[in-house]
Amino acid sequence: MNSRQQGRAAQPVLNLWRHAILAVLVAGTVLLGALHATVWSLVDTWLNAETYTHGFLILPISLWLVWQKRAELSLMRPRPAAIVLLLLAATLVLWALAELVGVQVVEQVALVAALILAVWAVVGHRVACYLSFPLLFLFLGVPMGEDLVPSLMEFTATFTVKMLQLTGIPVYREGLHFVIPSGSWSVVEACSGVRYLIASVTLGFLYAYLSYASLWRRLLFIALSAIVPILANGIRAYLIVMIGHLSDMQLAVGIDHLIYGWLFFGLVMLLLFWIGSFWREPHPAPDQAADVIASQAGRTDPVRFYTVAALVGGLSLLTVVATGWLEQRSGSLVATLAAPEGLAGWTRSEGLPAWNWQPQTLQADQQLSATYRRGEQEVAVLAMLYPTQRQDAEAVNSGNQVLGRDSDWRVTDQGQVSVAAAGIPETVNSFELRAGRGALAPDTRALRVWQWYRLGARSTANSYLGKFYAAMNLLYPGRSDGAYVLLAAMDTPGAAAARQTLGAFAADMGAALDGAFERTVVAGAGPRP
């Protein structure tokens, strides 16, 4: 087929593209407008979290990638695929559940997925498949990766300590804190390397797509872009400690700490991309003749584009209305949360013991704070009640932590323990906290803290299961209440003393404590604040 024949065949397709592009703009505008709160949460995160400022570049890059394909797209016939609306409806249901229980990252993922499915529904299967990478690239704008921070911090601390030991430097470690002869160090969130990892993976996806044609090379480079920054961050942390140690703590302990880190990361990424350039391969030329032949098959009524766009908008608006209705019928506060009277010899007093321990918690509608004693046993109970959970006022949230910022305590051990007590989940999260600053400032005090969540009438220590329970409670029986619960006991010289004290208290008082929550809220008592 010569160029003149191709031009005549492609002319009707260009007319269809005008309708298709307008329909995509209409559908996308209505969808983003209906879910505007989630859109703003994305923008707000990009503005205020340095880790995710690259989010502003994702959409322009995606559009640029589409623009690079404009010649081939002009030869493809867009065909609306109404069947994709079923996937869109399921995605909007996911968004609604995430909105109801306050899982912001799932809201944002669902928003991006809904936008991609809206484009797919309007332009059809063939075009969407051809644009799969530019469309899927939009997911890299979602602020994800915070859940990796604890694991990355643990890896960085372990890697650094092992390297110091191999270097011949004695190290004393407690959790994420370690001490060497020249001074003490701590692996904090800024040292986790999550910023390096997210930046590297984002660049890795783009570089792999532009530089390679074969799938295995793309996947290999993307994998390297994730593995290399994790290892590089461990080396970076080790080198910073060594610089501080060899300079008698004069270098790499202030702002230069961060400068050295970014310089090292930049060099590592430059080396990675330079090595990757040796395996670049050209992209195969598209079969334009086949595209023209495909574009001539069948006819497409332009009205179908606008029909699908209208259905996208209708589903979006219906989802928002239904979500608002479910919020209105959720549980509300009907009584004052009060600590139960002591049982089995336990006596109650208001407030926490004088341990100088204060968790970090979100502002709650009501708070239970009490101390129970029986002989030499002493247990602190702290519970934050959220009768109508919403974003940043919910039980399962990273803002609820067993330890507040700038605390003299530190987490030295954490895990899970089994509990045999009514009203308390079979497994709870267990933390060991120690006071002081490690070997340089020893302190023998230690706390054992048990933590779990209560969602409606269900309790769990698993945050993901807690979010699922919260979503199911909203659907039936219409409850949105949640509580963040902590029990704490001071360890005596016997390491098992605190665990035994907490176990005895849970067995004696667990059911009474659970009943105090149940008497406080009811389903469908009124609208959310």
Q: Is the pLDDT of residue 363 over 70?
A: yes
Residue 230: which of 145, 292, 164, 308 has the closest Cα?
A: 145
Asked, as a colleague might, if the bond just before 477 is cis with ω within 30 of 0, I would say: yes
Report the C-alpha gap between 514 and 140 in whole angstroms.
42
Collapsing DSSP to helix, strand or coil, 40 comes out as helix
**Tokens 């309790």, residue located:** 459
Read off the pLDDT of residues 94-106 as tens digits, 9 standing for 90 and up.
999 888 877 889 9
Helix or strand holding residue 332 (H, E) = strand 332-333
pLDDT band of 50, cuts 50, 70, 90? confident
Is the pLDDT higher at 523 or at 21?
21
In terms of Cβ atoms closer than 10 Å to its own Cβ (0-12, 13-18, 19+), residue 528 is middle
pLDDT for position 261: 65
pLDDT for position 130: 92
Supply the DSSP string of 209-235, one letter for each residue. HHH--SHHHHHHHHHHHHHHHHHHHHH
pLDDT for position 495: 45
Supply the DSSP string of 339-401, one letter for each residue. PPPP-TT-EEEES--SS----B----SEEEEEEEEETTEEEEEEEEEESS-BTTBSSSSTT-B
**Tokens 């190290």, residue located:** 171
Report the C-alpha gap between 38 and 109 in whole angstroms.
10
Sequence-ordered list of residues with C-beta below 8 angstroms from that of 93, at least 6 positions apart, any chain: 319
pLDDT band of 524, cuts 50, 70, 90? low
421 neighbors 507 (Cβ within 8 angstroms): yes
Read off the pLDDT of residues 11-49 as tens digits, 9 standing for 90 and up.
577 788 999 999 999 999 999 999 999 999 999 999 998
pLDDT for position 439: 44
Report the C-alpha gap between 374 and 383 in whole angstroms.
21
CA distances from 294 to 79, 283, 287, 289, 302 (A): 11, 22, 11, 9, 18
Is the pLDDT higher at 61 or at 8?
61
CA distances from 416 to 38, 466, 513 (A): 34, 16, 21
Range in 186-190, 278-282, 315-319, 413-417 with the lowest mean pLDDT: 186-190
411 neighbors 431 (Cβ within 8 angstroms): yes
Q: Is the pLDDT of residue 10 over 60?
A: no
pLDDT band of 493, cuts 50, 70, 90? low
180 neighbors 165 (Cβ within 8 angstroms): no
Q: Is the pLDDT of residue 204 over 50?
A: yes
Q: Is the pLDDT of residue 266 over 70?
A: yes
Q: What is the mean pLDDT of residues 433-459?
A: 76
pLDDT for position 285: 61
pLDDT for position 293: 45
Is the pLDDT higher at 437 or at 389?
389
What is the b/e burial string over 232-260, where b = at least 16 CB atoms within 10 angstroms of the residue's CB? bbbebbbbbbbbbbeeeeeebeeeebeeb
Sequence-ordered list of residues with C-beta below 8 angstroms from that of 261, at least 6 positions apart, any chain: 236, 240
Q: What is the mean pLDDT of residues 450-470?
A: 91
Report the C-alpha gap between 139 and 349 in whole angstroms.
51
Is the pLDDT higher at 410 or at 284?
410
Range in 54-58, 194-198, 380-384 with the lowest mean pLDDT: 194-198
Read off the pLDDT of residues 228-251 as tens digits, 9 standing for 90 and up.
989 988 888 888 888 888 877 666
Collapsing DSSP to helix, strand or coil, 180 comes out as strand
User: What are the beta bridge partners of residue 373?
Assistant: 347, 378
pLDDT above 90: percentage of residues in the chain: 42
Mean per-residue pLDDT over the chain, rounded: 84
pLDDT for position 451: 95
Residue 512 is given by DSSP the state: H
User: What are the beta bridge partners of residue 432?
Assistant: 413, 448
pLDDT band of 443, cuts 50, 70, 90? low
pLDDT for position 440: 43
CA distances from 270 to 23, 154, 275 (A): 42, 26, 9
pLDDT above 70: percentage of residues in the chain: 86
pLDDT for position 529: 42
Read off the pLDDT of residues 52-72 as tens digits, 9 standing for 90 and up.
988 999 999 999 999 999 888
Q: Is the pLDDT of residue 279 over 90?
A: no
CA distances from 126 to 119, 211, 425 (A): 12, 23, 50
Q: What is the mean pLDDT of residues 380-399?
A: 87
Q: Is the pLDDT of residue 305 over 90?
A: yes
pLDDT for position 124: 93
Q: Is the pLDDT of residue 296 over 70?
A: no
Report the C-alpha gap between 227 and 442 in whole angstroms.
37
Tell me the H-state helices in 188-287: 194-211, 215-246, 255-276
pLDDT for position 446: 84
State how far Cα 408 lies from the chain centre: 28
Q: At what angle do helices 288-296 and 3-34 cross, to 10 degrees?
A: 70
State how far Cα 423 lies from the chain centre: 29
pLDDT band of 512, cuts 50, 70, 90? very high
Report the C-alpha gap between 447 and 430 in whole angstroms.
10
Range in 97-111, 179-193, 203-217, 430-444 with the lowest mean pLDDT: 430-444
Report the C-alpha gap between 80 and 127 in whole angstroms.
10
**CA angle 348-350-356, nearest 5°?**
110
Amino acid occupying residue 310: A
Q: Is the pLDDT of residue 528 over 50?
A: no
pLDDT band of 301, cuts 50, 70, 90? confident
Is the pLDDT higher at 145 or at 259?
145
